[in-house]
Amino acid sequence: MLQKNKLYLKTFGCAQNESDSERVKTYYQDKGYKLVDDWKKADLVVINSCVIRESAENRVYGLIDEIRKAENSKSKKKKIILTGCLVPISKKTIKGVDEMMPIKKISFKVEALRDKNRAALITISSGCNNYCSYCIVPYSRGKEISRKMDDILKEVDEVIKKGFKEVVLIGQNVNSYGADFGEKSIVSMGKKRFLSVFPRLLEKVAKKDLKKVSFISSNPWDFSDELINVIAKYPNIDRLLHLPFQSGDDEILKRMNRGYNKKEYLDLVKRIRKEIPEVRFSTDIIIGFPGEDEKAFQNTVDVCKKVGFEIAYLNKYSPRRGTVSAKLYQDDIPMGEKKRRWNILNNLVNQKKK
Ligand code: SAH
Ligand code: SF4
């Protein structure tokens, strides 16, 4: 029998990368590759990279190094293709890499090779226009582009036909889905204003034969009443809502360019709870953003106490090249202090159920 070339695919980072990787798998299978679960057995290694924090980026370099160091004069040299978020922000080919492949090369027409035991991941938009001051995503993933609603609904129908009962709709900010279609339904909170078609898309998906419809991420400033009403109306929409707040301190939120303050966030939680009493929340928090003194940190603790999150993803601030916060502010909170605050929040939110 003909020996197939072997591919090892490593995915770092968020659900959007996982979703992209599911299409990368099909792309290479169609080229005749067989997937293997260990890079040592592979001829080709594809790395789908993440750069959200320095530690994530370093794990990518670490893997490339590990592979190259293990090679000797007798072994066949592996081909390494780098894709994902490190590619668009790199000026040169990364050391040890043979090819830098923009993830855009793998079109949405390529069918995803999905994990049957999990919810089907469905990307609804890519990129981001929000420019939170700490965040590299608008640079690494470019501006927000929404997929056509018909294409998304067709994909949902396909996964239902394949037997999936749960879907997760994915975008960096799903609430602004369709803003680039130029339709007029304006949502606003604080000072940000734009168009949103997301509640309509969500309703169309929820009407289908699905046990659970989830979505990530939904940001506070454009979480509209229309969206709350759609969630309330369809019991198959996930009651665990991911609503990142990043910080509970108004001054820090302003520096983060988040477009809401502590009171507006807590009011939104209240508004959602009023319409959907059984709702639960999860969140993302950045610990040790520049200038986060004890008082600012206590505001974050206070939001956690008031909301009672089920899970909080705790991220120690990491300055990222090219971002506004990295240019304007010193990373002035020592690592030891970031760890102390991390422990406090972890005990408060994530340990309480154990
Ligand atoms: N678009 C989503 C996800 C963004 S990235 C959203 O806005 O919620 C996921 C999380 O990584 C963010 O919510 C934030 O908590 C964290 N993050 C982003 N940039 C970071 C940085 N420079 N340092 C530490 N954490 C960061
Ligand atoms: Fe980054 Fe903010 Fe966009 Fe989320 S909304 S991807 S945190 S810039």
* Residue 165, SS3 per DSSP: coil
CB atoms within 10 A of CB 331: 15
> What's the 162 CA to ligand 1 centre distance in angstroms?
33
Residue nearest atom 5 of ligand 1, based on CA coordinates: 52
Q: pTM for this structure? A: 0.94
Q: What is the Cβ-side half-sphere exposure of residue 74, based on CA atoms within 13 angstroms?
A: 0
Contacts of 30 (CB under 8 A, 6+ apart): 110
Structure tokens at 82: 């780098």
Q: Is the CB–ligand 2 distance for residue 253 below 6 Å?
A: no
Contacts of 345 (CB under 8 A, 6+ apart): 285, 287, 300, 301, 304, 312, 314
Which residue reads 């940190």 in tokens?
A: 297
- Mutate which of 123, 133, 135, 216 for ligand 2 pocket (most atoms within 8 A of beta carbon): 135
Q: Is the CB–ligand 2 distance for residue 138 below 6 Å?
A: yes
Which sign does the torsion angle of CA 27, 31, 36, 38 carry?
negative
For domain 239-354, the CATH class is: alpha beta
Residue nearest atom 1 of ligand 2, based on CA coordinates: 135
> What's the 322 CA to ligand 2 centre distance in angstroms?
14
Q: Give, as one character, the DSSP assignment of residue 213.
A: E
Which residue reads 């993933």 in tokens?
A: 141
Closest CA to 243 of 220, 263, 227, 260: 220
Residues in contact with ligand 1 by the CB-under-6-Å rule are 52-53, 134-135, 137, 172-173, 217, 219, 244, 246, 284, 286, 315, 317-318, 320
Q: Give, as one character, the DSSP assignment of residue 223.
A: -
Measured from the CA of 323, which atom of ligand 1 is nearest?
22
Q: For position 351, what pLDDT does the model report?
A: 86
The dotted CATH code for 114-232 is 3.30.750.210
Q: For position 190, what pLDDT does the model report?
A: 47
Residues of the chain with pLDDT under 70: 1-2, 183-195, 352-354
* Residue 119, SS3 per DSSP: coil
- 5-105, CATH topology level: Rossmann fold (3.40.50)
> What's the 145 CA to ligand 2 centre distance in angstroms?
14
Angle between helices 198-206 and 225-233 (to 10 degrees): 0
Q: For position 76, what pLDDT does the model report?
A: 83
Q: For position 72, what pLDDT does the model report?
A: 83
* Residue 243, SS3 per DSSP: coil
Q: For position 184, what pLDDT does the model report?
A: 56
Distance CA 246, CA 256 (A): 9
The closest ligand to the CA of 246 turns out to be: 1
Distance CA 281, CA 259 (A): 20
Q: Do domains 114-232 and 239-354 have the same CATH topology?
A: yes
- Mutate which of 52, 192, 219 for ligand 2 pocket (most atoms within 8 A of beta carbon): 219
The distance between the two most distant Cα atoms of the chain, rounded to a whole number of Å, is 68
Q: Is the CB–ligand 2 distance for residue 49 below 6 Å?
A: no
Q: Is the CB–ligand 2 distance for residue 128 below 6 Å?
A: yes
Q: Is the CB–ligand 2 distance for residue 219 below 6 Å?
A: yes
CB atoms within 10 A of CB 85: 27
Structure tokens at 25: 């798998």
Q: Where are the domains of the chain?
A: 5-105, 114-232, 239-354
Angle at 350 between CA 345 and CA 352, to 5 degrees: 105
Pairing of strands 79-84, 33-35: unpaired
Residue 126's φ and ψ, nearest 5 degrees, are -130, 160
The closest ligand to the CA of 172 turns out to be: 1
